[in-house]
Amino acid sequence: MNTTTYAVTGMTCGHCEGSVRAEVAKIDGVTAVDVSAASGELVVSSDIALDDDAIFAAVDEAGYSAVRA
Amino acid sequence: MNTTTYAVTGMTCGHCEGSVRAEVAKIDGVTAVDVSAASGELVVSSDIALDDDAIFAAVDEAGYSAVRA
């Protein structure tokens, strides 16, 4: 299993977390998404290696911005 | 037309505004809902007199708290 941590900026509340979680969870191979507005941390688990760009695009789609933590 | 202003605490973002707007808009007689996370202001327009308690309950349902401004 692969687990990668990203730093997401702009999330303020549980709705924001939910938006990010929903978009990232759509990515093929993703098995778990942990996200915290308080810390800005996004932890993505997957059963295949994921392309960072797919994560960045999903977070962007949710309305936020991610970088590798 | 009746227009009443309330102060809502706890909203941080557009998702929060949307949650409040959606719940308040369900109330019978409501014709317009303006809500701002930045100011915490909720302005409800209606074509009948509304019970404040209905507004408070709707805002509570959305996860926030309102008082008369």
What are the pLDDT digits (tens) for A25-55?
999 999 999 999 999 999 999 999 999 999 9
Helix, strand and coil content of chain A, in percent to the nearest 5, comes to: 35, 35, 30
| Closest CA in chain B for residue A11 | B13
Ordered by start, the domain boundaries in chain B are 2-68
Instruction: Average pLDDT across each block of 10 residues of chain B; the chain has 69 residues. List them in order.
Output: 95 96 97 97 96 97 96
Three-class DSSP category at A59: helix
ipTM metric: 0.70
CATH architecture of the domain with residue range B2-68:
2-Layer Sandwich (3.30)
Residues of chain A contacting B13 with CB distance shorter than 8 Å = 12-13, 15-16
Residues of chain A contacting B15 with CB distance shorter than 8 Å = 13, 15-16, 18-19
